[in-house]
Chains A and B, each alone.
Chain A
Amino acid sequence: MIAALARSANLALLALGGRTSDDDTALVARAREGDPSGFDEIVRRHHKRVYTLAYRMLHHPEEAEDVTQEAFLNAYQRLSQLREAESVGAWVCRIASNLCLDRLRSPRRDTEVPMPSPDLAPADPADDDEGTSETVERIRAAVAELPPKYRLAVVAYYLRGHTYEEAARLIGVNVRTFKTHLYRARQRLIAMLKDSTQARGEPP
């Protein structure tokens, strides 16, 4: 009876577009038992978020795909070590964050940091004011200029409207450190925005 009530509550949440933590827990359990469809569903459910994180960190679609794939395969190999099965999506994001940081810190990458393509980071269509839209684009592009750990804080926080605590957990740092990184990142973005505004001769 209780199980039936819990199941119908889950179905009701799913119908509302919500997702219960049990879903991911059950998928992880299925994957651990060797049912490949369990892991397939985990991939289907979380790959966009992981890809978005990697893309916003690396600003390179192919590299972002490589990181997404590596993060999921890494997670698959270590699935038995995952303690909080309901957070499997956040766990894969954390693995992807570390892979991105490794790539960004690699000396080979210094000479080849591509700028974000405007086609892949389009402005909000609701933004019809050209000046505002341009400013928005400049801010988004400026994220690519941030040092990796500050960039990661910005990317994690704005990934899906996370709270500070969720975003800190997503990238595996404590909340205080996370807030410091995010604060410094924002200050740098504002400074870059002012510099670019002055360079264009626009009023500040």
Chain B
Amino acid sequence: MRCRKARANLQALLDGALPASDEARLRDHLAACEPCRGHLNSLRLVDEALSTQPEAEPRPELAPAIMAHARAQRGRRRPLVPIWLEGWTLASAALGLAACGLAASRFLPAAGLPDELAVQASGLLPVALVAAFGLFGVWYYRA
């Protein structure tokens, strides 16, 4: 085994994630190669230094401050629509309406119904599309 390949496998050796056959070959290489043994030792030191690092301690005021800000934010937030009716639900409904308008403008005259009805239905199309994009925009920016 060459040093380059050995070094690529050293961390897996420390993690205990090397297949047995690779591990045996790597250990043979390490027995004969001092620089790779040094590298393994350095890796082990890095692992130990970073895994024993104590958790940082925030000031005790931090958590209450976050909670207070969240409550204040909630007080400022006035939902435009109930949560179950927001965003995708309304945008989908408006797009559905637009599709109905388009279908009506195409098929009502063919079905023998008055043209005025088809014109009124097709008039819904731009309104519904604008509503769909508008509602999606409101949902996106609120989120």
Interface residues of A (CB under 8 A from B): 32, 34, 36, 39-40, 43-44, 47-49, 51-52, 55-56, 61, 64-65, 68-69, 72-73, 76-78, 80-81, 120-122, 124, 127, 135-136, 139-140, 143, 154, 157-158, 160-161, 183, 186, 189-190, 193-194, 204
Contact = CB atoms under 8 A, between A and B. Distances in A.
B50 A43 contact: no
A32 B86 CA distance: 14
Interface residues of B, number: 32
A161 B53 CA distance: 11
Contacts of B21: none
B56 A55 contact: yes
Interface in B33-61: 38-39, 42-43, 45-46, 48-59
A80 to B, nearest CB: 7
B143 interface: yes
Contacts of B45: 135-136, 139, 193
Given A68-B58, A121-B54, A140-B49, 18 more contacts: A34-B74, A36-B67, A39-B67, A39-B70, A43-B63, A43-B66, A47-B62, A47-B63, A52-B56, A61-B56, A64-B56, A73-B73, A77-B73, A124-B54, A136-B49, A139-B46, A158-B51, A186-B43
A143 B52 CA distance: 14
A183 B11 contact: yes
A135 to B, nearest CB: 6
Interface of B: 11, 38-39, 42-43, 45-46, 48-59, 62-63, 65-67, 69-71, 73-74, 83, 86, 143
State the main secondary structure of chain B at its contact with A: helix
Contacts of B54: 121-122, 124
B63 A44 contact: yes
B42 A193 contact: yes
A121 B38 CA distance: 26
A80 B66 contact: no
A127 B53 CA distance: 12
A183 to B, nearest CB: 7
Given A51-B62, A78-B143, A139-B46, A186 B70 contact: no
